[in-house]
Chain A
Amino acid sequence: MYASADFSIGTIEPSQRVMGMVNNRYSEMFKAGNSILSLEYPGVDYYGGEEFLSFISSLEDFSKVQPIDEKHKKRQKEFILAKEVDFFNSLKSLI
C-alpha cells in the first residue's frame, strides 16, 4: 500500500511522543520507499529520519509538498536498513 501511493502519512501517538518513541509505521514507510508526510509534532526526535520527511501542520501544506526522487528513495531505504541492523545488534547483544 505504501509503495503504491504517491504519499503516505505518519503519525505518532501522544503517549509515544511523551516517551521519546517514533511510531513503527515510519519504519514501514521508509522501507516501502515512497514520499512521506509527517504531522509536525514539536519536540519529537526522529533520530535522523527528519531528513526524509515532509512535515505538515495544516491542510494547505498538502499542496506544497513534492514527491521525492529515486536518489532520495534509495538513501531513505539505506537509512532504515541501517536502523534495522542497529536493532538486531542490540537484541543480539542481550541474547
Chain B
Amino acid sequence: MKVLVIHQPFPMGNYRLMPYIGHHLKEAGHEVQLMMQLNGNPFHEEYVDAVANQNFDVIYYEMLDRSTFKLISRLNNSKRILCYASKGVLETFEQILEYKGEFYDSIITNSKVMFDIFQNSNIESKFFEYYPAPLFESEIKTLDSYKHKHVYLGGGFQRLTEPNYQLERDLIYNNKEVAKYGKGWKMFLTIEEYFLQIKLVICMQVQTLV
C-alpha cells in the first residue's frame, strides 16, 4: 500500500511519533511518505492536486489543524485513518461523529469510551491500549545531565492554576525534589538553548528516518 503519514512540526506533540509509525509501516512493506501538517496555512488547488495525484491508498494522521482537515476532506479517494486520542479542534470528543466522511473514514483510538461509541455508530474502528513509544533501543542511553532522583516530562501552562491539577501541583509542579522538563515551564530561551533545541530535533529526525 502507498501510505501518507501526516505529522506535526517540532515541538508539537507527534512530530516524532508519526515518523516512527511511518518507519514501522515501511518495515511492514508499505511505501510510506511523510508530510507536515499545514498548521493553519492556506493552500491552493495545485496543492490539493499535488497530494491527490500521488494516489495514496491510505492517509494516516492524528487530530489536525482546520486547514489540513480541509485538505483531507478533499482527498476522499484515499482511505483516511484518524488516530483519535484528543479532541483537538473540536469542542467535545463526541463531535467527531459529525465529521465521518469528511475528517476520516476509519478510526483507531486509545479511548475505550469513544471506541464503544464508534462501534455503536457503525464506524470502522480499532482500539489500542498503549501508544507506541517512539524510541529505538539504540537511542536509550544514560546521560549524566539527566541523572536526577525524580523526573517529570510534561507541559506546565494552565496546569499551574487550574483546580483539576491540585494533586499534580502538590506532588510534582511545586515539588523542588522533582526535575521538570517539557514545554510551558520556561517562557524564554537563551540563544544557545534555542540552537541546541534545533540541533536536537534535526538529530532525532535523521535517526528516525535512517
* Chain A residues proximal to chain B, CB less than 8 Å: 1-9, 11, 14-15, 18-22, 24-28, 30-33, 37, 39, 45, 47, 49, 56-59, 62, 80, 83-84, 86-88, 90-95
Contact = CB atoms under 8 A, between A and B. Distances in A.
B163 to A, nearest CB: 10
A64 B153 CA distance: 22
B70 interface: no
Contacts of A25: 153-154
Contacts of A83: 128-130
Nearest to B130: A83
A20 B114 CA distance: 8
15 contacts: A2-B151, A3-B141, A3-B146, A4-B145, A5-B151, A6-B148, A11-B152, A11-B172, A27-B130, A31-B133, A62-B150, A86-B129, A87-B130, A90-B127, A95-B81
A14 B87 CA distance: 13
A7 B112 contact: no
B181 interface: yes
B151 A1 contact: yes
Interface in B89-129: 93, 106, 108, 110-114, 124, 126-129
A47 B111 CA distance: 12
- The 4 lowest CB-CB distance pairs between A and B, nearest first, are A20-B112, A4-B146, A24-B131, A83-B130
B167 A88 contact: no
Interface of B: 1, 3, 17, 21, 24-25, 28, 30, 57-58, 60, 79, 81, 85-87, 93, 106, 108, 110-114, 124, 126-135, 140-154, 164-165, 167-168, 170-172, 175, 177-179, 181
A27 B133 contact: yes
Given A56-B171, A95-B3, A3 B151 contact: no
Nearest to B28: A92
A26 B152 CA distance: 11
Nearest to A85: B132
Contacts of B58: 95
Given A4-B146, A9-B172, A90 B113 contact: no
Contacts of B179: 5
Contact of B167 (A7, A18, A39): A39
Nearest to B154: A11
